[in-house]
Amino acid sequence: MSTAGGVFPRWRRDGRELHYLVPNGTMTAAPITVTGTTIAPGTPVALFPRGSPAAARTRGAWADNTT
């Protein structure tokens, strides 16, 4: 998903996206496409920066972000 590394990975409930913290603390999401037996990660997107109130709550409190 990332050549820069990351920690605290969590799957989105539908399995189509992986959320994780990159080394600078930014919450990041990478879309995931599964076709047959092939898994293809998409381009990661920064969701919010380190130090934001949302980032401070991520150490175990994950929101249901399915729609």
Q: Are 41 and 31 in contact (CB under 8 A)?
A: yes
Evaluate if residue 4 carries a pLDDT over 90: no
Q: What tokens appear for 16 in the block?
A: 């189509």
Residues 21-34: tens digit of each pLDDT: 999 889 999 999 99
Confidence grade of residue 1 (pLDDT, cut at 50, 70, 90) = low
Whole-prediction pTM value? Answer: 0.69
Measured distance CA(62)–CA(54) in Å, rounded: 10
Which residue is listed with tokens 């920064």? 46
Residues 6 or more apart whose CB falls under 8 angstroms from that of 47 comprise 19, 26, 27, 28, 29, 54
Give me the pLDDT at residue 64, please.
55
